Structure 1
Amino acid sequence: MSEKLTVMPHEYPDTSHMILEDDTPLDSFINEKQQRLLTTVFYSGAEIPINVPFIVAANVGLFSHLRDSGIVPDVFLSLNIVGEKEWWERNVRSYLFWEFGKPPDVVIEIVSPTPGNELGSKLTDYADLRIPYYVVYDPLQKLSETVLQVFQLQFNSYIPKNDAWFPDVNLGLTLWDGTFENINGTWLRWCNVDENVIKTGDEIAAEKNLEISQKDVEISQKDVEISQKDAEISQKDTEISQKDAEISQKDTEISQKDAEISQK
């Protein structure tokens, strides 16, 4: 878990001179979808194993001090953030460490066709910010043959981590082959300790709809079976009615015979 800061609200510095946002992200469709998959899952009704205040965001600047020019990870997750936020106010339109009370816990960089020092200066920059976990997702293998690299902060620098489970966060990351928003491929996704992906609200809803559809099919099959039983019963009733008619006719014939005998 990232370290808490001890700055009191009345000690917050004046940020009026700082450039906290410049609206310059330029990403591909696939990167935008990947970032959205990693962020919206937290806010879409998914079953997230987190019971503390958190924030997860894409392309939002991180600022650790007043003279910091900021660094913008593709995705970050921060747990145990402090206070209620008025999100339109300038002081929380970017992630100012003293406003949120701590550095983020996990930052993720998605390597584009043009690498951006993900294993160079950013490795040092995020370590300097005291962010516990740094993840480099390289789907096109521009940096190396390793698609997913995870680093853990040890003292003042990062060391490679053999897995993508973050015990302090109670979440991990895994590569998942499947379809997201009509695009089939390999996606980076949050997962639980068993490496089962955290399903999005849409996926949960789709599963529920599938269950309902299956139930509807089962009910329809039951209705067909009941209709068939009703038809069989109706046929039996018809046969019984025919038998009754035959018996009635026989009774009539017997009565006629009896009448003829009586006349003789």
Structure 2
Amino acid sequence: MVKFDAKLNLPSSDELPCSDDAPVDNENQNFIPNFLLFLLEFIWAERQDWFFAVDMGLYHTTGVSPSIPVIPDGFLSIGVERRKPGNKSRNSYVMWEENYTPPIFVIETVSQTPGGEYTTKMAIYAKLGVLYYVIYNPFFYQRDKHQPFEVYLLVDGKYQLQSGEPFWMSEIGLGIGRATSWSGGLEREVLYWYDEQGNRYLTPEELAQQERQRADLAEQQLQNLVAKLKAQGIDTDNL
């Protein structure tokens, strides 16, 4: 008797839609996870064992149908190929094509229309085995009776709310927390990655700005020194 293997009938990533095409109703839903992605590409530029997706269908076999995905605002998987063979990008994240590796980190940003972040999606991510689940809710947290920023850790199959910010995620080797960013002439609160000492990882733009500020400060200090020497009657042109 031949044993039936359900995995043989699972659809491939080419047969599955990449998302549900549902429009977002809050700018943060796209901006926050994309900000984390671009920063991670800078921090982990030399690593090829991770994948971060934004608004991508995550197909799994723990729900009612493997053809129905859950779509996080953003998620990180470690121990998978950053790009598929042939330097190809993913249309979706299909668990049975990723050696059943679940994301280690998922982020949801709450919008005006509740999306089950504290209920349905939380249950799905727990069942999938997502270790860290972050809910960012700066605008509607009072409505939802939660905090603006919450980190949950999966313990014995259930999520437990953690304390501390930035929060260090040792299994990932990164911390996460809120900070103010200046980008494109705009000031806004975003989520940043942090190191174990609680230092915020800066974007390339912020690092360049920081370097310009150092150079400007050094130039100002030099000018002050020259003016002081001249005031003492010292010919600085021959120094």
TM-score range, shorter chain: 0.7 to 0.9
Indicate if the aligned counterparts of 1:134 and 1:151 stay in contact, CA closer than 8 A.
yes
Greater Rg, structure 1 or structure 2? 1
1:200 match: 203
For residue 131 of structure 1, what is the amino acid of its counterpart?
Answer: V
1:150 match: 151
Which runs of structure 2 are paired with 1:179-190 in the superposition (5 Å)? 179-190=182-193
For residue 198 of structure 1, what is the amino acid of its counterpart?
Answer: Y
**3-state DSSP class of the match of 1:168?**
coil
1:248 match: none
Indicate if the aligned counterparts of 2:48 and 2:81 stay in contact, CA closer than 8 A.
no
CA-to-partner distance for each residue in 1:137-157, whole Å, 9 max, x for gaps? 111113224112222222333
1:117 match: 116
Q: 1:87 to 1:121 in 2, by over 3 A?
A: farther
Name whichever of 199-208 and 161-170 sits farther off: 161-170
Indicate if the aligned counterparts of 1:174 and 1:195 stay in contact, CA closer than 8 A.
no
Q: Distance in 1 between matches of 2:216 and 2:73?
A: 38
Q: Distance in 2 between matches of 1:231 and 1:194?
A: 44
TM-score, L = length of structure 2: 0.76
Q: Distance in 2 between matches of 1:114 and 1:23?
A: 16
1:160 match: 161
**3-state DSSP class of the match of 1:216?**
helix
Shift of the alpha carbon at 1:222? Answer: 5.7
Q: Distance in 1 between matches of 2:173 and 2:19?
A: 31
CA-to-partner distance for each residue in 1:218-244, whole Å, 9 max, x for gaps? 4555666788744898xxxxxxxxxxx
1:131 match: 130
1:4 match: none
Q: 1:147 to 1:21 in 2, by over 3 A?
A: closer
Mind listing any 5+ residue stretches in structure 1 that lack a counterpart?
1-10, 234-264
For residue 108 of structure 2, what is the amino acid of its counterpart?
Answer: E
Indicate if the aligned counterparts of 1:152 and 1:161 stay in contact, CA closer than 8 A.
yes
Shift of the alpha carbon at 1:170? Answer: 1.2
Q: Distance in 1 between matches of 2:213 and 2:70?
A: 43
Q: 1:17 to 1:36 in 2, by over 3 A?
A: closer
CA-to-partner distance for each residue in 1:41-79, whole Å, 9 max, x for gaps? 112x34x59956212221112112472411111111111
**3-state DSSP class of the match of 2:144?**
coil
For residue 34 of structure 1, what is the amino acid of its counterpart?
Answer: I
Indicate if the aligned counterparts of 1:127 and 1:156 stay in contact, CA closer than 8 A.
yes
2:36 match: 38
Q: Distance in 2 between matches of 1:172 and 1:49?
A: 17
Indicate if the aligned counterparts of 2:50 and 2:82 stay in contact, CA closer than 8 A.
no
**3-state DSSP class of the match of 1:20?**
coil
2:3 match: none
TM-score, L = length of structure 1: 0.70
Q: Distance in 1 between matches of 2:36 and 2:82?
A: 24
Q: Distance in 2 between matches of 1:152 and 1:68?
A: 27
Mind listing any 5+ residue stretches in structure 2 that lack a counterpart?
1-7
Count the aligned residue pairs: 219
Name whichever of 73-82 and 108-117 sits farther off: 73-82
Q: 1:96 to 1:70 in 2, by over 3 A?
A: same
Q: Distance in 2 between matches of 1:119 and 1:231?
A: 67
